[in-house]
Every structure is written in C-alpha cells, then in structure tokens.
Amino acid sequence: MAITRAVVPTKGNLMALKKSLSLANKGYELMDRKRNILVREVMSMMEEVRHLRDELEATYHAAYRALQEANITLGAIGDIAQSIPIDNGLSIALRSVMGVELPTVSYEKQPLKLSYGIASTNSKFDYAFKSFIKARDLTVRLSEVENSLYRLANGIRKAQKRANALRNVAIPDFEEKIKYISDSLEEKEREEFTRLKVLKARLIEE
C-alpha cells in the first residue's frame, strides 16, 4: 500500500497505468501461448527420443558384440580400424520456434566404401563396421532431437517464469494502482461536487 500511495493520483497517471496493464495482459497471453506451443513441440519429440534411444542402444550392443568377436577371431584390429577415414560430413543450422533456436543437424552421407582389405577381415568385422555406421546415423539424429528438447525445456521454463511474473506481480500491481487512483479521483470529484453544492446554496441564500 505504501508503494501504491506513492503514485500521484492524476488522470494522466491513470491512463498510463491502464495502458501498461493492457500491455501486461497481452504479454501474459503471449507468454502463455508460447509456453503451450513449446510444450506441444516437446510432446511431439518425446516418443521419437525414446525410440531412438532404444534403437541406438540395441545397435551399439550388436556392434560391440560383433567387434569383440572380430577381435577374438582376427586378433588386434587397431591397424585395420585406423584405415577407416574420419567422417566430416556434419553441418549444423538453426531454426526458430517461438523465439527458441533449435538445431538442425545435417549429414551428407558418403557412399559406403570399405577402406580396409577384405582378406585381412571377416564377416564379424564387416557387421561391426556397418553397425557402427548405423549407430553414427542414429547418434546424429538423437543429438539433434535431445538438444532441441533441452532448449525447448529451457524456453518453457523462461516463458513460465515471465508469465508468472506478469500474472502474480506486474498485473496485480497495476490493478492496485489503478484502483487507488480511480478511488482517489472519485473522492476528489465527490468533494468538489459537495463544495460546489454548498457554494451554490450560499449564493442562493444571498
């Protein structure tokens, strides 16, 4: 109340506060709408994340098992593994969803070529190699979706925080100040009306 009474009760201040209240209400509606849209984006990605994680886990399990069997049958395969070139086909761009920047990971797939000698490997090594290629592709997609989920969750938290601040702090504060000024102006109008009425009565008596 002390803060409210510090506001000078003038019509100009009343108009300014009503404008601020209108903007605060619109801001709250926008923040709430943004939060709902981001929540829908998160929900649409959750199933894909679960599916990707399960598939990636199964793929890595099969790949490491095949690699272990290749190690057993071929001996140390470090030299063979080093003959496989490093893949640099990844690129990252950003797209905006309600002001939240989400990554779009693109991967330019190269034709699958065996860079190691067939004579020095076996089917277990080939299977492991192909499984790790699949795991790479799944990892690229999972990293994009999980990073997007993290950013969306952070966007939801910020939107909720701002919406709460508007709804629980700014809007009630504007409403309280508007009520105080309106009540003060009405009281002044009643006092002025009473004063004029008394003055008029005196003039009539005279």
60-90 pLDDT, tens digit each: 998 888 888 887 777 766 666 666 666 777 7
Cβ atoms 135, 56 nearer than 8 A? yes
Cβ atoms 159, 41 nearer than 8 A? no
Number of domains in the chain: 1
| Within a domain: 180 | no
Where do runs of H (alpha helix) occur along the chain?
2-5, 11-74, 78-82, 123-165, 171-205
Residue 111: pLDDT band (50, 70, 90) is low
| Within a domain: 5 | no
- Give the residue among 139, 162, 173, 117 at the shortest CA–CA distance from 55: 139
Q: Tell me the residue range of the domain where 137 lies.
A: 12-174
| CATH number, position 41 | 1.10.287.3240
| pTM score above 0.85 | no
Cα–Cα distance for residue pair 190/186, rounded to 1 Å: 6
Tell me the residue type at 88. Answer: N
| Within a domain: 196 | no
pLDDT at position 147? 93
